[in-house]
């Protein structure tokens, strides 16, 4: 393929990467996995720019064959770092920290260190007689092998975690991370098979895969709560705006806010992980009681949930609230904490005096209590 076409492909990939990087630069959510993904984008951009530079035709007096050789070696070194960071990204997404990554850091890092040492060796072996050979097949064979190794390792970790995940949303997300990187691996193998044709496949494919991962993650962050897999507060507000706009005089719309009691004490006693486990279990408990199409469930705030119900009478809403209270005494839910898992229920009805928009609808729940908070201090077995 002609150099001009290759340069045009590289410029298109660089433009896509720059756009995604810009979205991350203005994002307020900078979790460790997002910072790691940002580093992957930076390295991909650097690799693409170096690849474009190596294909530019400079005048002879400004051209130095040694520089082109060095650019190729640096490009290979950067390429080896990208799948290594992908492993770190997967560990952050699955485990929430880099502890498991650091625990096995030595065996995980050995292939990368060996590949980088080979790159340094190639730089020391730079000779005038080899100035015209910029492909360096051995270097790219090692680079591709390292990339496939790290991508396969990350996919195996995602696959194992997916089968241990109890939440449907978490299972889908980890299965997604398991199989999405099979596309770059296939691209690498196709690139090796078509090496003589000099068709660029890997860089455009990886760029598009990273763009797809970014879009998928942003869509989930916009409408879905990452911990429970339920709708988040943004989706709740959007649903209420649409629902109240089309509400007829015959329809009655109710809103329940359900807040878990004493979570501060449970977090202090059992830690953050146990608190999250209780929230996920309670979310599954509420999800199992969504038996009608006229119900909408969301993780409203940190320890609160919201349920929107379209019912004919208040008695139907009261029956549903009593059902929640009576069925929450199951050992599956109550055995998660050293104290009973209890919750408060507040409610509101749209369209009554003073409740004519979404903000008033949400705020009015604070004024109407169906089930108050149960304090732990009233129990004899409570130890603060």
pLDDT tier at 224, thresholds 50, 70, 90: confident
CB 278 within 8 A of CB 287: no
- Which domains are seen in the chain, by residue range? 3-223 (1.20.1070), 233-378 (3.30.70.270)
Which whole number is the average pLDDT over 350-362?
Answer: 86
Task: In whole angstroms, give the CA distance from residue 263 to residue 91.
Answer: 28
Q: What confidence score (pLDDT) does residue 145 get?
A: 92
Q: Give the residue among 194, 175, 206, 154 at the shortest CA–CA distance from 48.
A: 206
The pLDDT tens digits of the residues spanning 99-134 come to 778 888 888 899 999 999 988 888 877 654 444 555
Q: What confidence score (pLDDT) does residue 384 get?
A: 46
What predicted TM-score, i.e. pTM, was given to this entire model? 0.64
Which whole number is the average pLDDT over 287-306?
Answer: 86
Phi, psi values for residue 190, rounded to 5°: -65, -40
More confident residue, 133 or 273: 273
Q: Give the residue among 154, 182, 143, 166 at the shortest CA–CA distance from 229.
A: 166
Which whole number is the average pLDDT over 243-266?
Answer: 84
Length reported for the chain: 384
Report helix angle 137-164 to 168-180, nearest 10: 170
Q: What confidence score (pLDDT) does residue 382 get?
A: 45
Q: What confidence score (pLDDT) does residue 169 get?
A: 59
Q: What confidence score (pLDDT) does residue 84 get?
A: 93
Which whole number is the average pLDDT over 19-43?
Answer: 81
CB 297 within 8 A of CB 305: yes
Q: Give the residue among 33, 299, 66, 315 at the shortest CA–CA distance from 307.
A: 299
Percent of residues, the chain, with pLDDT higher than 90:
21
Q: What confidence score (pLDDT) does residue 307 get?
A: 93
Q: Give the residue among 256, 241, 355 at the shortest CA–CA distance from 311.
A: 256
Task: In whole angstroms, give the CA distance from residue 76 to residue 73.
Answer: 5
């Amino acid at each position: 393929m002609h150099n001009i076409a290759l340069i045009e492909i590289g410029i298109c990939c660089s433009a896509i990467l720059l756009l995604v990087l810009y979205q991350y630069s203005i994002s307020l959510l900078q979790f460790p996995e997002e910072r790691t993904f940002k580093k992957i984008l930076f390295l991909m951009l650097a690799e693409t720019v170096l690849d474009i530079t190596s294909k530019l035709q400079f005048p002879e007096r400004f051209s130095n064959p040694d520089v082109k050789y060095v650019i190729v070696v640096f490009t290979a070194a950067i390429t080896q770092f990208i799948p290594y960071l992908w492993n770190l990204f997967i560990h952050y997404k699955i485990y929430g920290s880099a502890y498991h990554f650091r625990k096995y850091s030595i065996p995980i890092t050995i292939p990368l260190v060996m590949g980088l040492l080979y790159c340094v060796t190639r730089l020391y072996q730079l000779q005038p007689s080899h100035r015209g050979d910029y492909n360096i097949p051995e270097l790219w064979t090692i680079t591709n092998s390292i990339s496939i190794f790290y991508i396969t390792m990350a996919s195996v970790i995602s696959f194992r975690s997916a089968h241990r995940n109890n939440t449907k949303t978490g299972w889908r997300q980890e299965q997604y991370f398991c199989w999405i990187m099979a596309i770059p691996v296939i691209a690498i193998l196709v690139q090796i098979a078509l090496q003589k044709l000099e068709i660029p496949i890997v860089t455009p494919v990886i760029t598009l895969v990273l763009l797809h991962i970014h879009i998928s993650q942003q869509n989930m962050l916009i409408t879905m709560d990452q911990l429970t897999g339920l709708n988040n507060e943004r989706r709740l507000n959007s649903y209420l705006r649409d629902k109240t706009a089309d509400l007829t005089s015959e329809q009655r719309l109710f809103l329940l806010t359900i807040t878990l009691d004493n979570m501060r004490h449970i977090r202090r006693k059992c830690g953050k992980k146990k608190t999250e486990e209780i929230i996920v279990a309670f979310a599954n408990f509420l999800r199992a009681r969504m038996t009608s199409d006229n119900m909408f469930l969301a993780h409203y705030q940190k320890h609160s949930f919201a349920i929107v119900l379209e019912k004919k009478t208040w008695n139907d809403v009261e029956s549903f609230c009593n059902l929640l209270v009576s069925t929450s005494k199951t050992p599956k839910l109550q055995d998660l904490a050293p104290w009973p898992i209890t919750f408060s229920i507040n409610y509101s009805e749209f369209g009554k005096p003073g409740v004519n928009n979404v903000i008033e609808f949400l705020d009015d729940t604070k004024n109407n209590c169906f089930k108050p908070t149960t304090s732990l201090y009233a129990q004899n077995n409570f130890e603060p």
